[in-house]
Chain A
Amino acid sequence: MLSAGFLRRPLVRHLVIAVVLVVVLFLVTGILSSYNNFQIALIASYVIAVAGLSLLTGLNGQISLGHGAFMAVGAYTTALLETHQHWPLALVLALSAVTAAAAGLVTGLGAARLRGPYLAGATLALAVGLPELTIKFTSTLGGESGLPVNPPPPVSFLGASFDPNRYLAWVSILCVAVTLVLLANLVTSRFGRDFRAVRDDEIAASLSGIRVAGNQVLAFVVSAACAGLGGAIYALATGIVNPAGFTLVLSIAILTGTVIGGLGTLAGAVWGGILLVYLPRWSESLSNGFKLNKVVSSNLSLGLYGVVLIVVILAFPAGLQGGVRQAGRALRSRFMSGPGSSGSTGAAAPAGVSTPVASGGGGETS
């Protein structure tokens, strides 16, 4: 029915992938424990924020140390609208992204004039300064102790006993899918090409008729909107927003996830999100396993975290996604270039899957 050409159109292709993924993940949530579903929501919040920063830094060449602040904007918007105004969840999530986008617009206007370390410095100031606002406006924003966020109640047809964490996982997965489809289309569109052109050479880009400043502001707005949506999910998952949750550490963590996952790739954002949730816990349980002195063991987890980051960067300079691609290429060249190797091992299966659509692939660049 569907011709190969139809399937190859970016929007259709991205939608098909997203729908398949969403269905698979919805089914997976059913066999996971409530806690794992909660972790999926946390991962989702990071994936969305990391994807946004990946677009800004990897595709448009602008650095931001302030994405934790945009997450805070989205999270506080959610707390104020969902819990205090009881607005519908979809509207709250959309408005959280919009509010963060507005903050991104203001920041972007300034950022378009700054380069390199100066831009890093300005966004750093944002990450440090913005959470302090909540203490200045204690009556509205709850000060140090913050605002509670009610977890979204599952829609009524699921029944009263439906696990709220599973529902939250569904909402988060849907948000990730929508965000990634939109971003994937954006980066394959004219805007994506412009982003890359500006990143590679601003003068050349402007000679080609691209308005460099406007382009950079647009990238900031899109990126901040993603962070805002990520922040909204973060707020729904943790059940509270307060300044201690949105410190500079969070901004650095998002940047770490972006770089480790694979700068400028959307699949890398998924790796980054998973890593940001699981790596601290893995390193902590590993360091607890050594039965060391408390002072050592409670700080060892941070050390292990650092070691993993260094190893990943050394082994995969293009991030985990870069490593996955390398492995993929190696596997493909082994199983596909061999003369008539009708693979007898199970490992041949993935290569077989990709055969029908790999029409003259090769030579791909990122």
Chain B
Amino acid sequence: MNIRPNRSAWRLGAVVAVIGLVAAACGGSSSNSTNSTTANTSGTNTASAPGITATTITIGSHQPLTGPAAPGYSEIAPASNALFKYVNAHGGVDGRSINYIYEDDGYNPANTATVVRKLVLQDNVFAIFNGLGTPTHQAVLSFLQTEKVPDLFVASGCDCWDNPTQDPETFGFQTDYTIEGKVLASYEQAHYKGEKVGYLFQNDDFGQGGVKGFDQEIPSSDVVSRQSYDATAAGLANGLGNQVSAIKAAGAKVVMLDTIPVATALTLLAAAEIGYNPVWIVSSVGGDPPTLSGLLSSISKGKAGASLENGVISASYLPSFSDTANPWIALFKSIHDQYDASEPWDGNTVYGMAVAYTFVQTMKAAGRNPTRADVLKALETDGGSFTGPGLVPFGYSTSHHNGYVGEQMGVVENGAFNMSGPVYRTTDSSGTPVTTYSGTQPAPPTSF
């Protein structure tokens, strides 16, 4: 530590040299901000916006490819990419092929901040597409607004993406937790009216958003127990036995769960242990049958398994992966087998392809040579009438940026998720009732 002059000079030289090297290595990629203001709907392809050339559209995303959130969720981006490859092989979008760069953030918001800045400032992506996670994506929300980068189809059911005045660039995708809560609760009211109800929810945006929806539909006098848990290692380490016992002691006949898959599994195991058999109504977040059965058998070390999840009621805004008669599922399965065969086939795969399809649809609606502003405008004006793999419409308009506005109910039977009955739709606000949606799903396009 004895700093002598000669060494100081060395040190100075070394540090300057390093900074110089780093600068050279990174290459000053100057950003080309050629924002043309008018949309060109015909003629030849031009480089109409950052990330768009005459032959390519480059988009980026942050995804948990490693870390605690990776199981299941890491399948989404490869599935989206498979659909893009299929579209590229069939002529692309107006002759442009889609180049999808997804970076691993390990579900750590600090990493998200870094990788999204790399995508926007260095890779010059046209848009951030399907960035996954509430805490992670919140880390870059204001950055994307400042940089005016379209922030399309955030992979999270938080209602925080529906804020067009403050966050005009951001659009949600899936049914938000409050709408889902209302749909699940109105089903409960239709089939088990007057029964005692218990809640078990995750103590964060997800769980609280869902409970907000439950409470709009279920009379508070019916709710006999409200239990929660923290989604931390400590919060789940001792299982959920205390919470489940409290709900049983309160005499609930129906239990509403806003739980992640591992917490759903812990709940079902705790209930089986004390011989408690209520009707389970579970958020789509924690109800995917393949994920659940895997967790049930791994947590119980093989003593319990898929049979515990039989009869669990849940809901979805997309057709079930097990519904192979559905033409969209059939198309997605064939794309999966051709371009994504190394990944499993489940609800996450369907999700990844559905959101990728919606992006293709958006780019087509935005014109031949779209600017970033054209894409936002296309979603606000046409997005509400988009049809495709979804069972319900999107909520996109000039005043709302939320995604799917409802869900269809289904039940877990022998590892499959069988959906039936009416499709429900509603909004977040407490004045709007849950109504049925009668629109039909179109057949998938034969050409892209």
Contacts and interface: CB of A to CB of B under 8 A. Distances in A.
Interface residues of B, number: 60
B23 A36 contact: yes
Contacts of A354: 6, 9-10
A132 B1 contact: no
Interface string A301-331: 0100000000000000000000011001000
Interface stretch (B131-139, B171-179, B326-334): B131-139
Interface in A40-99: 42, 59
Interface string B1-42: 111111111111111101110110010111100000000000
A350 B10 contact: yes
A343 interface: no
A258 to B, nearest CB: 14
B117 interface: yes
Interface stretch (A24-32, A102-110, A215-223): A24-32
Interface stretch (A111-119, A141-149, A201-209): A141-149
Given A33-B121, A270-B15, A350-B10, A145 B135 contact: yes
Contacts, number: 170
A7 B1 CA distance: 18
B13 A242 contact: no
B23 A31 contact: yes
A242 B122 contact: no
Task: Please classify the interface of chain B as helix (H, G, I), strand (E, B), loop, or mixed, using the class held by over half of its residues.
Answer: helix
B122 A33 contact: yes
B231 A144 contact: yes
B12 A17 contact: yes
A8 B18 contact: no
Contact of A20 (B3, B7, B12, B107): B12
Interface string A130-159: 001001000000011110101100000000
B234 A132 contact: yes
A24 B28 CA distance: 17
Contacts of B110: 234, 238, 240, 244-245, 250
Interface of B: 1-16, 18-20, 22-23, 26, 28-31, 65-66, 70, 74, 78, 104, 107-110, 113-114, 117-118, 121-122, 134-136, 138-143, 146, 204-205, 230-232, 234, 342-343
Interface of A: 7-8, 10, 13-14, 17, 20-21, 24-25, 28, 31-36, 38-39, 42, 59, 132, 135, 143-146, 148, 150-151, 164-165, 184, 187-188, 192, 196, 234, 237-240, 242, 244-245, 247, 249-250, 264-267, 270-271, 274, 278, 281, 284, 293-294, 298-299, 302, 324-325, 328, 350, 353-354, 357-359, 361, 364-366
Given A31-B23, A145-B134, 6 more contacts: A39-B26, A132-B232, A132-B234, A165-B121, A240-B138, A353-B13
Q: 10 nearest interchain CB pairs?
A: A35-B121, A238-B113, A358-B6, A245-B110, A357-B5, A240-B139, A35-B122, A354-B6, A298-B65, A34-B121
